[in-house]
Amino acid sequence: MIKRVHLDHAHMQHLLKAMIRIRRFEAKCVELYQAQKILGFLHLYDGEEAVSVGVMEALTQDDAVIATYREHGQALARGVDPKCLMAEMMGKLNGCCRGRGGSMHFFDRARRFYGGNAIVGGGMPLALGVALADKMQGRSAITACFFGEGAVDEGEFHETLNLASLWRLPILFVCENNLYSMGMAVERAEADIDFVHKASGYRVAGEKVDGMDVVAVESAARNAIDRIRSENEPYFLECRTYRFRAHSMFDAQLYRSKDEVEVWRKKGPIVRFQTWLEANRLIKPEELATIEEEVDKEIAAAVAFAEAGPLEPVSELERFVTMEEVPS
Amino acid sequence: MNAPQATAAATRLTYREACKQALRDALLSDPRVFLMGEDIGRYGGCYAVTKGLLEEFGEERIRDTPLSESAFVGAGVGSAMVGMRPIVEIMTVNFSLLALDQIVNNAVTIPHMSGGQFAIPLVIRMTTGGGRRVAAQHSRSLEGWYAHIPGLRVLTPATVEDARFMLKGALADPNPVIIFEHVMLYNMEGDLPSDMKEVDIAHAKVRRAGRDVSLITYGGSLFKTLQAADALASEGIEAEVIDLRVLRPLDTKSILDSVAKTRRCVIIDEGWRSGSISAEVGMRIAEEGFFELDAPLRRVCSREAPIPYAAHLEDACLPQAATIVAVARELVRPS
Amino acid sequence: MPALGADMEAGTLVEWLVKPGDRVKSGDVIAVVETQKGAIEVEVFLEGVVSNILIPEGERVPVGTVLAQIDGAPGAAPPPLIEPAVAVLKPGPQILAQAPPTPVIAAPSSRLKITPAARRRAAALSFDPTMIVKGTGVEGSIRLADIETYASGAKLVQRPAKKKGLDLSQMRQAIAAAMSRSKREIPHYYLTETVDLNTASTWIERYNAEKPPVERILPAVLFLRAAALALREQPQLNGAYENGAFIPASSIHVGWAISLRGGGLIAPAIRDTDRKSLAELMAAMRDLVERARRGNLRSSELTSPTITVTSVGDRGAESVTGIIYPPQVAIVGFGRVVVRPWVVDGRIESHPLVTVSLAADHRVTDGHIGGLYLAAVGRLLQEPDKL
């Protein structure tokens, strides 16, 4: 199963670092949120890092990504500059969207990152269009379409899977199943919680993968992409994961027990992967220290960049409401 | 119903045929253009606008879709972000409600929200309006809703020439454009000047000049309004008929110019009065043309009810020429 | 800003005659306001101390604007000098009530219905649109065409910069407006009656012979008194027609028409005309004429008439049929006293005669009432000693 993941030292440390980067970036965000430098919603990816890191490893720069509103991890794993992301979090002009999108709406044209979308399921039809356009223009790119299991409740999920299958579009559907859509437990929302089975209803092949295991996710994603290319049809990946923190910042978490959260924390993607690396002597303590130090430096640089960033002049408020031309 | 006679050499054709020629032109002139929608291919289009295009351009570019308005409109948005020039047909404005999220939250929002990284050069065509005895769920006029939304361009071709050439302008626009084709216009015939190659998609147009009262309208109500203007002329009242053509961005100047001339204004809108485009037009006049007014603003809109099936009720619901005449006359010659 | 007539929309506060701290009592004149009818003294109907002047001299403000505040008797909350317009927009009875408790007397609607374009055009022409009582636009609004029509006919005189006294061009416009409205709206009917003044003339001569010049009376005083007393018998001629209904007045305040030197006409009220003696009436008339010509009329005098009486005097025509001053419903006219053959008991005698006319609003009364009224006037004039 993992034969296609080239697990050398460098790659393993790269995966770990990618996950630690997300975790620490978000920890800093919480701090800045409490200091009111970040406002609005803040949906943390804490616990789900392995999903993005694993899937993005399998993508090339030519592939496209459709993200959710819990997309800090998706953007960082995709390689979007943490400086631009932190500036965006703080509403600054040097943010990836000039401070207009904030936490839920990261876009990065250069990395084919087509947006954090804050309407559950709302990004899925976009994936159809991106994949269709790539296909019609003769590009062999894959579109990775991220969505939470809450999107399965929406009509867009069904319409999109159906059309993707019908038109044989190169889409990798990545269901981040963290078991709750806000406070709604998946088994209380869906009559059938076997999402792979649901996908098969549209003749979309798929599999479940342990979303807390970064290597398993990467491996599954690589296999999925191979299959999309070879079979010329979409593929469905359900990544079973868990969010350790609140839905957003203001959430008393009445819908789940602390014990449940603790059980999942022990299976956390970073602690698990790091422990495994250490147990197998695949990482030295000083290497880990270096990773953490580098990540901290990156984040400090991102915060400094964001803090120093100017605000977009109010006079530009209406700029880009309509575009003068199609950017190339 | 007849369009005003053209003076130059002209070809006579229906509004439907004009729409089709526009689509065919677009497909021929730009390989990035493709069509998506329900029954646009094998069926030939619900209103037969796309009949024959599948045979000419093939399934890759004339894409029949399942009844998944949200998905295929979203696909239009996504493909527009990635270099295509999709023309999406939604069978009627009523069904566009199922795709509202994609239009409002994605197509219109992404350019601004992404800080200008993406444009959405998407064209959505849909029919609108009542008059065909098909009851409430197929008869709405929701153009005014769409005109509310910053980032959209909303076009309402009411003449054969606009049906023929507005699409070209819409495709050249880097922004999402919605073209509303009124169901009662497809069979209308008009003359297309043979030297005409394009129309602008930014300005209202004076369809009939007059000095006594401005009748401001668009879309399916244009010809009712022109009929009303004829009737008024027989009474010695010269009405100026303004075809808005573009509901967003609204051509305020043309509106104000006309009102400055006539100083009286009736706005005719098949949408409901409350919160309608007619309300917007009226308010612009109040804001920017207040001192020109020599009479209160008046409106002729649809009655505030779902459009009923029964013919007499539907007729009573929709703006009619006789009402327009009565309202305009009362402004010019108060009883 | 008191409303001093149905057509008044605004006025310019020309001069304050009191300052903060001054004690005022009901009837005191506290300010002068310039209107299209001229400079009008503003009376106060409260007692107290002026606490606050709210509108500076020279400012033009709409009717209903509070001009000043007067602190009332100790312990009382300070009432505004002028109550807000809303409070005074009440129909007739109050307007005509005796000694009205509120100083502001306004027509039911003092808000001019005029289109924005017409208003702007009027301003450009320095034309006061309030002189147009009813327009030809939607709901009777004044529209552009009305302004053009009136402005071209009004031979506009630029408003003089003077601060006090009557502005005759303005008055001309006001008269034009009121008379136009009257002729447009009121279906007049006219009656005349020739009245023998033989007895009355003799009586006046005798009356005056005993009096020093200052106390002597004119025949007009008899006319005024007779006209007022006759109204007690025909109260339907005394009141206002507003909002489609006649509102009878509870008192008789005859507006006495006074022509002004240099042109213009004004008809201030002589309050409770029917309850004043001839001597009191004569004094009142003298006072009014003098003050009207000086431009020192009081606001209440212009707004309170319940009917108008005009007497052309020695130099006038033989008869006069007047135009009703809205919202009144009648005007009584007395022509020049002439000596003519008069038949008494089959013999022709030379008698002084006067032609009394009545122009009345046919919406309120008809010729029968009018005839009875004129007959009463004639009868009363035959018994001058009872007047």
How many Å lie between the alpha carbon of B119 and the closest alpha carbon of chain A?
5
**Which residues of B fall within a CB distance of 8 Å from C144?**
263, 294
Rounded to an integer, the average pLDDT of C196-211 is 90
The span from the CA of A74 to the CA of A64, in Å, is 12
Assign C242 a pLDDT band (cuts: 50, 70, 90): confident
CB contact under 8 A, C143 and B295: yes
| Range of lowest pLDDT (A4-8, A307-311, B218-222, B308-312) | A4-8
Three-state secondary structure call for residue C9: coil
Q: Tell me, yes or no, if C382 comes closer than 8 A to chain B by beta carbon.
A: no
In this predicted model, which residue has the larger pLDDT, C58 or C309? C309
In this predicted model, which residue has the larger pLDDT, C43 or B247? B247
Domain-embedded: residue A300: no
Subunit partners of chain C (3 or more CB pairs within 8 A):
B
Interchain contact C/A (3 or more Cβ pairs less than 8 Å): no
Choose among B290, B292, B296: nearest Cβ to C138: B296
What pLDDT was estimated at residue A284?
94
Assign B136 a pLDDT band (cuts: 50, 70, 90): very high
Domain-embedded: residue A105: yes
Rounded to an integer, the average pLDDT of A281-288 is 94
Res B287 pLDDT > 50: yes
Rounded to an integer, the average pLDDT of B105-123 is 98
What pLDDT was estimated at residue B4?
53
Q: Tell me, yes or no, if B295 comes closer than 8 A to chain C by beta carbon.
A: yes
What pLDDT was estimated at residue A235?
98
**Which residues of B fall within a CB distance of 8 Å from C129?**
none
The span from the CA of C280 to the CA of B149, in Å, is 77
Q: Which of residues 84-123 of B touch A (CB under 8 A)?
A: 84, 86, 101-102, 105-106, 110-119, 121
Give me the domain span that covers residue A274.
Answer: 40-70+101-280
Task: Pick left, alpha or beta for residue A316 (phi over 0 → left; psi -120 to 50 → alpha; otherwise beta).
Answer: alpha
What residues does B192 pair with on adjacent strands?
Answer: B11
Q: What superfamily in CATH does domain B13-193 come from?
A: Thiamin diphosphate (ThDP)-binding fold, Pyr/PP domains (3.40.50.970)
Q: What is the mean pLDDT of chain B?
A: 96
Assign C218 a pLDDT band (cuts: 50, 70, 90): confident
Q: Tell me, yes or no, if B331 comes closer than 8 A to chain C by beta carbon.
A: yes
Res B138 pLDDT > 70: yes
Res B33 pLDDT > 60: yes
What pLDDT was estimated at residue C109?
46
Rounded to an integer, the average pLDDT of B98-125 is 98
Assign A266 a pLDDT band (cuts: 50, 70, 90): very high
**Which residues of C fall within a CB distance of 8 Å from B296?**
138, 141
In degrees rounded to 5, what are phi and psi of residue B149? -100, 115
A320, amino acid identity: F
How many Å lie between the alpha carbon of B232 and the closest alpha carbon of chain A?
40
Active-site annotation holds for B55: no
Three-state secondary structure call for residue C262: coil
Q: Tell me, yes or no, if A163 comes closer than 8 A to chain B by beta carbon.
A: yes
What is the ipTM for the molecules in this complex?
A: 0.94
Active-site annotation holds for B69: yes
Assign C153 a pLDDT band (cuts: 50, 70, 90): low
CATH of the domain at A49: 3.40.50.970
Assign C8 a pLDDT band (cuts: 50, 70, 90): low
Interface with A, mutate which of B70, B153, B154 (most A CBs under 10 A): B70
pLDDT single digits (tens) B170-182: 999 999 999 999 9
What pLDDT was estimated at residue A18?
98
The total domain count for chain A is: 1
What pLDDT was estimated at residue C99?
34
How many Å lie between the alpha carbon of B29 and the closest alpha carbon of chain C?
51
| Percentage, residues of chain C above pLDDT 90 | 32
Q: Tell me, yes or no, if C113 comes closer than 8 A to chain B by beta carbon.
A: no
Domain-embedded: residue A15: no
Indicate the burial class of C220 (C-beta count within 10 angstroms; 0-12, 13-18, 19 or more): buried
Subunit partners of chain A (3 or more CB pairs within 8 A):
B
Catalytic residue among B38, B69, B89, B181: B69
CB contact under 8 A, B68 and A159: yes
Domain-embedded: residue A236: yes
Res C181 pLDDT > 50: yes
Cβ atoms C302, C208 nearer than 8 A: no
CB contact under 8 A, A325 and B119: yes
Assign B7 a pLDDT band (cuts: 50, 70, 90): low
Cβ atoms A96, A132 nearer than 8 A: no
How many Å lie between the alpha carbon of C120 and the closest alpha carbon of chain B?
7
Q: Which pairs count as long-range contacts for C227-231, CB under 8 Å and 24+ apart, including other chains?
A: C227/C254, C227/C273, C227/C307, C227/C309, C227/C332, C227/C334, C227/C377, C228/C252, C228/C254, C228/C273, C228/C274, C228/C309, C229/C274, C229/C376, C229/C380, C229/C387, C230/C373, C230/C376, C230/C377, C230/C380, C231/C274, C231/C307, C231/C373
Q: Which domains does chain C have, with CATH numbers?
A: 10-96 (2.40.50.100), 116-181 (no CATH), 186-386 (3.30.559.10)
CATH placement of domain B205-332 = 3.40.50.920
Assign C43 a pLDDT band (cuts: 50, 70, 90): confident
What pLDDT was estimated at residue C152?
67
Residue of B nearest to C116 (CA): B291
Res C168 pLDDT > 80: no
How many Å lie between the alpha carbon of B219 and the closest alpha carbon of chain C?
29
Residue of B nearest to C144 (CA): B294
Assign C82 a pLDDT band (cuts: 50, 70, 90): very low
Residues of chain B with CATH 3.40.50.970: 13-193
Residue of A nearest to B110 (CA): A115
What pLDDT was estimated at residue C255?
93
Domain-embedded: residue A316: no
What pLDDT was estimated at residue C36?
67
| Range of lowest pLDDT (A162-176, A257-271, C23-37, C272-286) | C23-37
pLDDT single digits (tens) A6-29: 778 899 999 999 999 999 999 999
Rounded to an integer, the average pLDDT of C146-152 is 79
Residues of chain B with CATH 3.40.50.920: 205-332
pTM of the complete model: 0.70
**Which residues of A fall within a CB distance of 8 Å from B77?**
125-126, 129
Catalytic residue among B138, B181, B240, B270: B138
Domain-embedded: residue A47: yes
Domain-embedded: residue A253: yes
C354, amino acid identity: V
What pLDDT was estimated at residue A188?
95
